[in-house]
Amino acid sequence: PGAGIEAGMREPGRGGTAPSSGVVVQVREKKGPLRAAIPYMPFPVAVICLFLNTFVPGLGTFVSAFTVLCGARTDLPDRHMCCVFWLNIAAALIQILTAIVMVGWIMSIFWGMDMVILASKYS
């Protein structure tokens, strides 16, 4: 009594052996509908959209919406093309309207970075 460690248990790093079961854990990010609507574009187009989003919040996102109408793939395969287009327009409007308080500008830059990351996976 009062020893702090129960009989048969040892603290890791103090002579005890940690059990290794060999379990592989996979982590997958669950995206909301707005994030999943970001189109997979060619790399140069994604870089242009990032550039536009950096200097005029929402403009690159607005341009990327039209790539959906040109056949760009998204992570929303079960949604109709027009629905995904309007989701991108909504994201652009959110970025434009909240840019006044800097939230939209930061969101816009991160959105552009996501476009470039998706484009690098696409190519």
Please, what are the averages of pLDDT over each run of 10 residues along the chain (123 residues)? 51 56 77 89 96 95 95 89 94 95 94 95 77
* Residues 106, 58: Cα–Cα separation, whole Å: 10
Long-range CB pairs of 68-71, under 8 A, 24+ apart, other chains included: 68/37, 68/39
Which pLDDT score is estimated for 34? 87
> Which 3 state secondary structure label does DSSP give 31?
coil
* Predicted local confidence at residue 27, as pLDDT: 75
Report the alpha-carbon distance of residue 39 to residue 75 in Å, rounded. 8
Domain residue spans of the chain = 43-122
